[in-house]
Amino acid sequence: MSKVSGCPPEPDHGCPLCPRLVAYRARNRAAEPDWFNGPAPSFGDPGAWLLVVGLAPGRTGANRTGRPFTGDWAGDLLYATLDKVGLSRGTYQARPDDGLELSGVMITNAVRCAPPENKPETGEIAACNPFLAARIQSLPRLTTLICLGKIAHDATLRALGERPSRHSFGHGARHTVAGLTLFDSYHCSRYNTNTGRLTAPMFEAVFHAALASRS
Ligand code: URA
């Protein structure tokens, strides 16, 4: 695993590392001062055995609410799936104060700030990687990760000190890296679900595989 050298698992609300994302945050704050408008902190169980790694907050979703995938289209399927496989308690209501609790799971993002058009640049993914590495290292019970999409897959491998070229991304693929088990899934984005590239049963099957890998 790569050294984190004192990096905390969560960036400050005013993290200055990525000029383009800072400028976007400032524009969003000016337009919507009541929104969260900052790096969305990881959400879930500090005793998690499973870490779900997303891409980045959506502008009107996690960037608005301050909780990963909350209020995002992608969150409807993610939180419904966690409920279905027994990894959450309470009812997801797309609000950070809905009382939802995750059990054994934490959700984070490869890039913590909302990027324009949901597309983080290579340098932004790299700048945020120490936070992902620190988040992974902060979870004492972690055994398993689910990476949502190739960007999350590559970022997670880098955070674990592994070259992405050594592990090809593929929906349902399973990798062993630094003593952890990584599962890949297509991202549960609106595009992927609307086009049928990812269906709810396909997504759920990845979580069942992760659960089965524990025994
Ligand atoms: N919202 C997030 O927090 N992450 C994603 O990857 C997509 C939507």
Q: Does residue 77's CB lie within 6 angstroms of at least one atom of ligand 1?
A: no
Cα–Cα distance between 60 and 178 in angstroms, integer?
35
1 assigned to some structural domain: no
Q: What residue numbers bound the domain in which 96 lies?
A: 19-212
Tens digit of each residue's pLDDT (9 = 90 or more) over 15-57: 999 999 999 999 999 999 999 999 999 999 999 999 999 999 9
Question: What strand order describes the sheet that includes 43-44?
Answer: 43-44, 105-109, 50-54, 144-148, 180-185, 174-177
195 assigned to some structural domain: yes
Q: How high is the pLDDT of residue 2? A: 44
Provide the domain count of the chain: 1
Q: Does residue 146's CB lie within 6 angstroms of at least one atom of ligand 1?
A: no
Cα within 13 Å of Cα(82), Cβ side: 27
- Model confidence at 4, pLDDT cuts 50, 70, 90, reads low
53 assigned to some structural domain: yes
Please give the distance, rounded to the nearest whole angstrom, from the Cα atom of residue 76 to the centre of ligand 1. 11
Tens digit of each residue's pLDDT (9 = 90 or more) over 154-175: 999 999 999 999 999 999 999 9
8 assigned to some structural domain: no
Smallest Cα–Cα separation from 115: which of 171, 52, 159, 57? 57
DSSP-derived secondary structure letter, 113: S
3 assigned to some structural domain: no
Tell me the best of 109, 112, 190, 198 to mutate to test the pocket of ligand 1, counting ligand atoms within 8 Å of each CB and taking the most. Answer: 109
Average pLDDT, the chain: 97
4 assigned to some structural domain: no
Q: Report yes or no: 138 and 4 within 8 Å, Cβ to Cβ.
A: no
179 assigned to some structural domain: yes
Q: Does residue 65's CB lie within 6 angstroms of at least one atom of ligand 1?
A: no
Label residues 95-114 b or e (16+ Cβ within 10 Å = b): ebeeebebebbbbbbbbbbb
Query: Pairing state of beta strands 105-109 and 43-44?
Result: antiparallel
Which domain CATH number covers 59?
3.40.470.10
Q: Does residue 61's CB lie within 6 angstroms of at least one atom of ligand 1?
A: yes
6 assigned to some structural domain: no
